[in-house]
Chains A and B, each alone.
Chain A
């Protein structure tokens, strides 16, 4: 149980294009999902907290207009990187927290390369 999927697992795009990443909780409902970013040999940095049916909460320094988050259902959150640039290249990981527990379960991650 507690499986989280992400799609796509990797994506290469041209500078200036937008990329959408999906995060799904497959066998549980999650009112709250989280988006992290991880650079090589570094730990996970929280970008934003996504709440079903309401606006996401962004961490300091994360541009909300660049990283659009939508959490339209209890099993799906999406992250759209708008007008991507090479510096947005990174490993993006989502997590989902089953309602009534504190544990977060992570997806397999999406590697984004912007050329």
Chain B
């Protein structure tokens, strides 16, 4: 059975303090690993899709990487506006299987 586990559950950073969020997964055949950002009371906002080990994608202060067992979302020099819940999801073949998310708080 496909599984997605995100860690940590919550992370508090000072502005400018870089860190990484982890998404560990098990899947019979990877058809895409997705990262989304969700602000309170809103729907998830698409960030990245990764398909194969070794793949990396970047957007502003965010960089997503993928290995055969996990994905990392690296946040470089975060700002308070990066505060949100970051969700990792696996494509199970017809739908997305979401992790529980990492709640990130960046303080000034």
Residues of chain A having any CB pair with chain B under 8 Å: 2, 4, 6, 34, 42-44, 46, 49, 57, 91, 93, 95, 102-109, 111
Per a CB cutoff under 8 Å, which of B42, B45, B49, B98 touches A44?
A: B98
Interface of B is mostly: loop
Cβ-neighbour of A104 out of B41, B42, B96, B101 (below 8 A): B96
Expressed in whole angstroms, the Cα–Cα distance for A108 and B43 within the complex equals: 4
Most chain A CB neighbours (cut-off 10 Å) among B42, B44, B45? B44
Chain B residue total in the interface (Cβ 8 A) = 20
Instruction: Across the A-B interface, give the 4 residue pairs with the lowest CB-CB distance, nearest first.
Output: A106-B43, A109-B43, A106-B44, A43-B98
Q: B43 contacts which chain A residues (CB < 8 A)?
A: 4, 6, 93, 95, 106-109
Q: Which residues of A contact B94 (CB under 8 A)?
A: 49, 57
